[in-house]
Amino acid sequence: MTESDRSETAAVPGDRPEALFAALFERARAVMPGGCSRNTVLRKPYPLYAARGEGCYIIDLAGTRRIDFANNMASLIHGHAPAKIVEAVRKQVGLGTGYTMATEVEIEYAEHLVARVPSFDKIRFVNSGTEAVMTAIKASRACTGKRKIAKVEGAYHGLYDYAEVSQTSNPGNWGSENRPESIPVAFGTPPAALADVVIIPFNDFPRAEAILEEFKDELACVLIDPVPHRVGMIPASKSFLYGLRDWTRRNDVLLVCDEVITFRCDRGGAQTMLGIEADLTALGKMIGGGFPVGAVGGRDDVMRVLDPLAERVLFPHSGTFSANPVTMVAGKVAMEAFDEQAVSRLNELGRLARSSLAEAAAAADCPAAVAGAGSMFRIHLADELPQNYRQAFPSPQQVRAMQVFVDHMVDNGILMINTCSGMLSTPMQAREIEILAETAEGAFRKAREVLA
């Protein structure tokens, strides 16, 4: 090990990273609102600036090395710069990065994903999860001839006007549990968009059904994330999921699953894990092998609305970078390597992470409950697991405790998502989980003081 390697192995910041990062942030703020292009990278008082990633480690510009449990917001299933993907992408980049021509690798990757997910007869690629959800919603409208959508309160589905309604509603505006209000995220959201989004509570089928019944003749789809991160990362209960599947079938409404994150849960995504088949599914993140991606897959008769060869084209659909060969090559290599065996090994590690974190909280005597599924976890600084967005909504004290928790982790060599969540990657071993839990014990002790 060289001297420079050694300085990177400890979670000890290098020379005055504060000054370095503060100066970069100042430059950034001069040219970008808030000093960034994605709010997720912001931290107080300034973001960390990355130098490089190596497997399950990420090294910042000050030379501090951390285990990466954020994995670019769940998009890096094999960690950073996996050799096979780097090699395949390098070769493709030399051959060109995009053509106004179709490619064979797009067909190969489509074949792989259609074979992988029981509910897919057909698939189309786009460039982000936002675009995938938008495409699924527009396809639902085109297919059913109806306009409204229903979605779960607090669930994140990207930036499309309709998909983001009530993603950030709060106790001051969310209204009654029997009829949650449709609350905009962005100022200027057209009232017509709000009027076309029906909000249902998570994991409460009787309440959700009562709301859906009222709008059944106007609904194109029910959009659902089977393990919604922002809602608390609790898997959808069978009664909720099967209830929605059955209700949508009976009422000529499509069931759209957003598996942008949850696809990692099983070989065929959380649908396979939970035993349902959606009519349409939005994918993104990890299926790009580290590159920007999205996809919509589903039943042939629904996907047909996207067919430009049809006599009447119901939903003309295109995108300059859709199915670009770099993403296709990287995604195909990544997903082929994330086979049945890799999925179950990573899920086993996920179980270990959740139980080790719960033990660390108990050892620190901190109120905490660990949610998650597959290779994902989310720590709630509360006595019990929340069952929906309203229960998961943190008090100001919990917000402070979460901040203290995540800061302690970052200062001690662990990068996490700032909701106290983490995503595993295949280069991880039991050792990384052990370090996660050891570090978390200190974080739980600090959080306990804030909560006391």
Residues that bind ligand PMP (CB under 6 A): 73, 128-130, 133, 156-158, 225, 229, 258, 260-261, 284
DSSP 138-185: HHHHHHHS--EEEEETT----S-TTTTTTSS--TTT-EETTEE----S
Smaller CB separation from ligand PMP, 60 or 225: 225
**Distance separating alpha carbons of residues 87 and 90, to the nearest angstrom:** 5
Q: Output the residue with the shortest Cβ distance to ligand PMP.
A: 129
Bridge-based pairing of strands 148-152 and 197-200 is: parallel
Smaller CB separation from ligand PMP, 148 or 229: 229
CB of 273 to ligand PMP, least distance (A): 15
CB of 27 to ligand PMP, least distance (A): 25
CB of 24 to ligand PMP, least distance (A): 23
Q: Residue 420 gets which letter from DSSP? A: T
Buried b (16+ CB within 10 A) or exposed e, 374-394: bbbbbbbbbeeebbbbbbbbb
Smaller CB separation from ligand PMP, 282 or 366: 282
Smaller CB separation from ligand PMP, 189 or 419: 419
CB of 429 to ligand PMP, least distance (A): 26
Q: Do 241 and 274 meet the contact criterion of CB atoms below 8 Å apart?
A: yes
Smaller CB separation from ligand PMP, 148 or 157: 157
Burial environment of residue 320 by CB neighbours within 10 A (0 to 12, 13 to 18, 19 or more)? exposed
Partnered with residue 223 across adjacent β-strands are 151, 256
Q: Do 171 and 183 meet the contact criterion of CB atoms below 8 Å apart?
A: no
Torsion of CA 20, 22, 24, 27, to 10 degrees: -140
Q: Do 436 and 357 meet the contact criterion of CB atoms below 8 Å apart?
A: yes
Smaller CB separation from ligand PMP, 42 or 310: 42
CB of 37 to ligand PMP, least distance (A): 12
CB of 381 to ligand PMP, least distance (A): 22
Smaller CB separation from ligand PMP, 62 or 420: 420
Smaller CB separation from ligand PMP, 146 or 151: 151
**Distance separating alpha carbons of residues 15 and 13, to the nearest angstrom:** 7
CB of 33 to ligand PMP, least distance (A): 18
**Residue 395 vs residues 152, 171, 369, 381, 443: alpha-carbon distances, Å:** 21, 10, 16, 10, 19
Q: Would you state the structure tokens that stand for residue 380, as one six-digit string?
A: 């709630």
CB of 140 to ligand PMP, least distance (A): 16
- The amino acid that residue 187 corresponds to is F
